[in-house]
Structure formats: structure tokens, C-alpha cells
Amino acid sequence: MDAAVIGGGSWGSAFALHLGRLHQKILLWVREIEVYKDLQENRQNSVFLPGFQFPSEVAFSTDIQGTASSAPILFMAVPSRFCRPLFENIAPVLKRHQIVVSLTKGIEEGTLKRMTEVMGEVFSRSARPRLAVLSGPSFAREVAEKLPTAVVIASEDAEAARTIQHFISNIHFRAYTSGDVTGVELAGALKNVIAVAAGISDALRFGHNPRAALITRGVAEMTRLGLRCGAQKETFLGLAGIGDLVLTCTAQQSRNYHVGYELGKGRRLSEILAETKMVAEGITTTISVRDLAGREEVEMPICTEVYRVLYENKNPEESVRDLMLRALKVE
């Protein structure tokens, strides 16, 4: 195999589909047996990415260790809460020459570690591969539809970043490189929390003004925390930062925006989440962001109000009022 993708959700499936269209031999690992059977029999993922036929270049597996050891490049497309046990499962079969790329936009709850930090911790117990992260504005369905998409690949290993850049890029999919792993990962996680706030605002029919303000002040919050954690300011003005933030705050197909929108309509979080098999990373990331901001002593009022709406049952309209009545200050 030329590459393997771990995770048969919408993003992992769309990414494997994209790679297969590049005429590369790809192995896609899926957890759900019903999804695996559908892929084997119909070459479609009717649960998470309906309407698309996988090319013959893509094969499917339920053997996690076999998949992880099958190719020199391994893309990890699983929700953050499942990452550590999965990393521990594949660690014994990884080799130093491999490149492992995280496609996950989240922060581990409790440890407050980014996904490459978790990988570094787990993989250091055996032969540690080279690590990278892919992020940016990239809805799975639009990638599957071959709509123009631009992303960023970040790695402390510049050669690894360039290798991935050339491996995944074509006329429909353009990758840039970065050395700011911290910034790219934090931006990808933090934007999901702001997207929940944008969904709430739109459900309350507050109009375009507050959405623009949320995006702008959201960038400010993301940047403050990122700088405190050692990231570069420019990253938050790029694809992983404001690029992905604008996407998730303005499109109803964003899972996090959708959750916020339904909350703004007065529905309960448990009811909203029960309706879909797809994971909205911003829901659990909000807890980690609250804890990380507290640890780093960074003020993040929008993220704080999202936490209160999600986990303290605060009325969304009260949260908006409290944001607007905060002490006046210089921008």
C-alpha cells in the first residue's frame, strides 16, 4: 500500500476516496462492521459518506494493526476521545521510517494534550515514526465532490511535511506546509468551540453583525491561547486558523455549528447528539479549552460562555447579554 487511513467516518472516508482517485493504493480501516460490509459489497459508505463510489485503488480492512503496518504513510482520522487507546493499539507495529499524520481536530480531555503530543507520548515506547498534522477548511463532502480545497500540513520534520504535501496535492486539493505544529493543532480544535457560538447566534436570529464579531473575537481568543502555548501568531491568520473558523461558523453542514444552532432553538444537548452518529468535536473540546485557558491564565469569554451553555444549562440569550455587557476595553 502507498498509504493507509485509520477511520471510516465521513472525513476518513472522503480522504481515502481522494487519495484513491490519485491512483495510489490505499487501505481504509473501519471500526463499524456494517460500514465495512457496505464498503466490501457496494464500495460505498452509506452511513457516513453516502453517494460516492470508491475506486478500485481503495481496499478496506477491520484489522487495525495490519492496516497501521501496511504503508509508509498513515493518516489518523478518528475523534480525539478514541485516539489514545487506538494509538496504544498500533504502537507496537509502527516503524521509524513511517509518517503518521493526524487529521483529528481536538484536545484530549484531562491531559489537555494535542494529538501529536499524545502520539509522541505513546509511540516513544517503541519505534517512534515521524509525526505531522493536517488541518484547514475541508468539509468531507466537498472534498469527495472534488471541489477546490486548500489545507496545511504541519510537522517539526520539514522533509516529512513536504513528502505529505506532494503526496496529497492535485488540481482539486492543495496543501501548504508549516513548522508550527502547536498552532495548527490548537487552531483546528479551538475553532470548533467558536462555531458552536455562531450556531447559537444564528438560531437566535441575531443577524450577520454578531456572527462577524464572533469570528473576529474568536480569532483573538484562539490567538491569545495559542501564543501562550508557544504557537505562532501567523498560524491563526492562515488556513488552520481564520480559514477553518470562517468555514465552520458560516455553514450549516458544520457539525459544531449545527449543535449550536439546535441549542439556540432551545433543544437539549443530549437530544441533539442522539440524532447523529457523527462526532461534533467542539462539544468535548469545550471542556478541554476551559481547562487549558484556566491553566494558562488566558481570558476566553466566548469559549467560557459556550461551556456554560453546554454544561451548566445557561440560557443562550443570557450568554449573549453577558458577553455584550462585559467591561469596555481597547480592541
Handedness of CA 229, 232, 235, 237 (dihedral sign): positive
* Cell numbers given for 250: 458560516
Going by the DSSP 8-state scheme, the letter that residue 313 receives in this structure is: -
Instruction: Scan for cell 502555548, then name that residue.
Output: 229
Residue 123 to residue 126: CA distance in whole angstroms: 6
pLDDT above 70 covers what percent of the chain? 99
pTM, whole model, 2 decimals? 0.94
| 278 pLDDT more than 70 | no
Going by the DSSP 8-state scheme, the letter that residue 105 receives in this structure is: -
Long-range (24+ apart) CB contacts under 8 A made by 120-124 are 122/84, 122/87, 122/88, 122/91, 123/87, 123/91, 123/94
The confidence score (pLDDT) of residue 324 equals 82
Render pLDDT for 225-255 as a digit per residue (tens, 0 to 9).
999 999 999 999 999 999 999 999 998 888 8
| Domain locations in the chain as residue ranges | 3-179, 183-324
The confidence score (pLDDT) of residue 127 equals 75
Under a CB-based contact definition with an 8 Å cutoff, are residues 280 and 273 in contact? yes
* Cell numbers given for 233: 501568531
183-324: CATH topology is: N-(1-d-carboxylethyl)-l-norvaline Dehydrogenase; domain 2 (1.10.1040)
| 262 pLDDT more than 80 | yes
Of 189, 212, 187, nearest in space to 283 by CA: 189
Strand, coil or helix: 150: strand
The residues that are catalytic are 191
Enumerate residues 6+ apart whose C-beta is below 8 A from 325.
Answer: none
Under a CB-based contact definition with an 8 Å cutoff, are residues 191 and 302 in contact? no
Please state which of the four CATH numbers 3.20.20.70, 3.20.20.330, 3.40.50.720, 2.60.40.10 is assigned to the domain occupying 3-179.
3.40.50.720
Render pLDDT for 57-68 as a digit per residue (tens, 0 to 9).
999 999 999 999
* Cell numbers given for 213: 464579531
| 330 pLDDT more than 80 | no
Under a CB-based contact definition with an 8 Å cutoff, are residues 187 and 180 in contact? no
Render pLDDT for 199-221 as a digit per residue (tens, 0 to 9).
999 999 988 998 899 999 999 99
The confidence score (pLDDT) of residue 267 equals 87
Under a CB-based contact definition with an 8 Å cutoff, are residues 285 and 192 in contact? yes
Of 135, 82, 106, nearest in space to 287 by CA: 106
Cα dist from 144 to 53, 62, 141, 196, 214, whole Å: 10, 22, 5, 25, 29
User: Angle CA(218)–CA(219)–CA(221) in degrees, nearest 5?
Assistant: 65
By DSSP bridging, strand 149-154 and strand 130-135 are: antiparallel
Mean pLDDT, rounded, of the chain: 93
The torsion angles phi and psi of 22, rounded to 5 degrees, stand at -85, 10
The confidence score (pLDDT) of residue 279 equals 62
